[in-house]
Amino acid sequence: MQVRRCAHLSVILEDEPRFDIRALLEGGDGLVRCQRWRAYAPHLDAPVDVAPEHLAVLAAIASDAWTDLAAVREHQGATAVDALLASGLLLADDQASAGRRARDDAARSDDWWPPALVAQVHGAWEGVDVGARSEAGQMPSARELVETFGPAPAACVRRAPQAPALQLAPTMRTDFDTLLADRRTCRNFDPEAPLDAVRFSTMLRRVWGALGTRELAPGAVAVKKTSPAGGGLHAVEAYVLVQRVEGLAPGLYHYLALEHSLEPLRQLPPAEAVGLARRFVAGQDWFRDVPVMVVMVARFDRLFWKYRRHAKAWRVAHLDVGHLSQTMYLSATELSLGCFVTAAINDREIAGALELQLPREAAIAVVGFGERSGRLATMELDTFDPTPASQR
């Protein structure tokens, strides 16, 4: 048998207090304050503890070549090597390690900036239920946050308070200003109203559809859409969860941007579609009844084809999703539809449902749109205090 170190590895010294039931039973407050080294690797779903003496062992074993296990155990110590194999930080070429090895190979195949890759993988959620946490009192209100941590940092900050602010010229006002002012997040969707086929198609075309392409070189095609994208690559795919759209069965679809068509992935019974929608947005019940959800999935392999191991490239994927989200908001507002965007999503459950190839591609955010409910069950920012500038 042969072994090698995993391709990417970040080790952090943590010393924050953590809960320990034994400390509580022994009469303490249940908090243990001790330092520990935590290893984060993108082929593992969770960080693992690593002994300080094992760090030197990891450094001594190559990540880009296989080494005979017997020789490694002889030189580095069988106890340390076996512990690292069990943790997954060392990989073997046997069948038992095939799953971890495949994920490690996937991490090697694309030119990620390593800190971004670790953040992408270990920032993912699975099984999070925001609604249940709120009911259990684990989601503090704004008042409770102020009482516990004091006032939030100011909404507006001055950098040169000693200098008088320069008043700007009066602004022009057009229909676009009205559209911008009407843009808001909807948290109350009509659970019975379907979305008509025309507005559904219009939304997909306006936001995610391609206006055209341009071949930059043989094998390199840039895409033009209504939103900007890093390098003209438009490395964000739209996956559609349909609950109530005229002419479409509930289910999962993939939007083909160049063709303006839907690729059916899986039909769903209505009850299953509702449950999947709720899990996608991590139990945020106020979004569950939306007739259409769109999962925006970043194709990191396409993005990193150009921006190889680039420290800024990971940010670009999130910026692209942000641009698309705002275009979605403006389009939905113009079509008199409610809409939302959230990054509080169960990424790993979405990946499983869509059969994504992690970490080569991953869900970044979920948006939704449809008819608003006539009943305000969850607070929305429909009313607010205007700023002095907006009153002029």
Q: What is the pLDDT of residues 124-147, one digit of tens each?
A: 999 999 888 888 888 888 898 899
pLDDT of residue 391: 61
pLDDT > 80? residue 356: yes
Q: Are residues 226 and 315 in the same domain?
A: yes
Is 137 part of any domain?
no
Q: CA–CA separation, 268 vs 241, rounded Å?
A: 10
Least confident segment among 146-155, 176-185, 347-356, 382-391: 382-391
- Of 109, 126, 158, which residue constitutes the final position of a domain? 109
Q: Are residues 213 and 313 in the same domain?
A: yes
Percent of the chain exceeding pLDDT 70 equals 97
Is 119 part of any domain?
no
Omega before residue 151 within 30° of 0, cis: no
Q: Tens of pLDDT along 227-272?
A: 999 999 999 999 999 999 999 999 999 999 999 999 999 999 999 9
Residue 188 has which token pair?
């109350």
Sequence-distant (6+) residues with CB within 8 A of 188 are 286, 338, 372, 373, 375, 376, 377, 378, 380
Q: CA–CA separation, 321 vs 300, rounded Å?
A: 13
Q: CA–CA separation, 178 vs 182, rounded Å?
A: 6
pLDDT of residue 306: 95
Is 135 part of any domain?
no
Q: Tens of pLDDT along 55-64?
A: 999 999 999 9
CA dihedral 137, 142, 148, 149 (to 10 degrees): 140
pLDDT of residue 64: 93
Q: Tens of pLDDT along 60-107?
A: 999 999 999 999 999 999 999 999 999 999 999 999 999 999 999 988
pLDDT > 90? residue 312: yes
Is 239 part of any domain?
yes
Q: Tens of pLDDT along 106-117?
A: 888 889 999 999
Is 166 part of any domain?
no
Instruction: Indicate the helix (H) or strand (E) that contains 367.
Output: strand 361-370
Is 144 part of any domain?
no
Question: Chain-wide mean pLDDT for the chain?
Answer: 93
Q: CA–CA separation, 299 vs 357, rounded Å?
A: 9
pLDDT > 70? residue 392: no
Q: Are residues 203 and 340 in the same domain?
A: yes
Q: Are residues 181 and 103 in the same domain?
A: no
- Of 81, 109, 137, which residue constitutes the final position of a domain? 109
Residue 72 contacts residue 81 (beta carbons within 8 Å): yes
Residue 138 contacts residue 148 (beta carbons within 8 Å): no
pLDDT of residue 239: 98
Q: Are residues 103 and 187 in the same domain?
A: no
User: Which residues partner with 48 through β-bridges?
Assistant: 39
Domain CATH for 292 = 3.40.109.10
310 confidence band (pLDDT: 50, 70, 90):
very high
In order of 235, 236, 259, 332, the CA distances from 209 in angstroms are 13, 11, 8, 15
CA 374 to chain centre: 31
Of the spans 95-104, 148-157, 331-340, which averages the highest pLDDT?
331-340
Q: CA–CA separation, 112 vs 77, rounded Å?
A: 32
pLDDT of residue 218: 96
Residue of 194, 3, 27 whose CA lies nearest to 101: 3
Q: Residue 127 region, left (φ>0) first, then alpha (ψ -120 to 50), else beta?
A: left
Q: Are residues 71 and 207 in the same domain?
A: no
Q: CA–CA separation, 317 vs 256, rounded Å?
A: 19
- The better pLDDT of the pair 30, 352 is held by 352
pLDDT of residue 386: 80
Q: CA–CA separation, 373 vs 338, rounded Å?
A: 9
Percent of the chain exceeding pLDDT 90 equals 83
Q: Are residues 347 and 235 in the same domain?
A: yes
pLDDT of residue 24: 66
Is 147 part of any domain?
no
Is 376 part of any domain?
no
User: Strand, helix or coil at 315?
Assistant: helix
Q: For the chain, what is the domain count?
A: 2
Q: Within 13 Å of residue 379, how many CA atoms lie on the same side as its CB?
A: 4
Range of the domain at 247: 177-370
Cα distance from N-terminal residue to C-terminal residue, the chain: 75
Residue 304 contacts residue 310 (beta carbons within 8 Å): yes
- Average pLDDT (210-222) is 96
User: Strand, helix or coil at 279?
Assistant: helix
- Average pLDDT (315-334) is 98
Alpha-carbon Rg for the chain in angstroms: 25
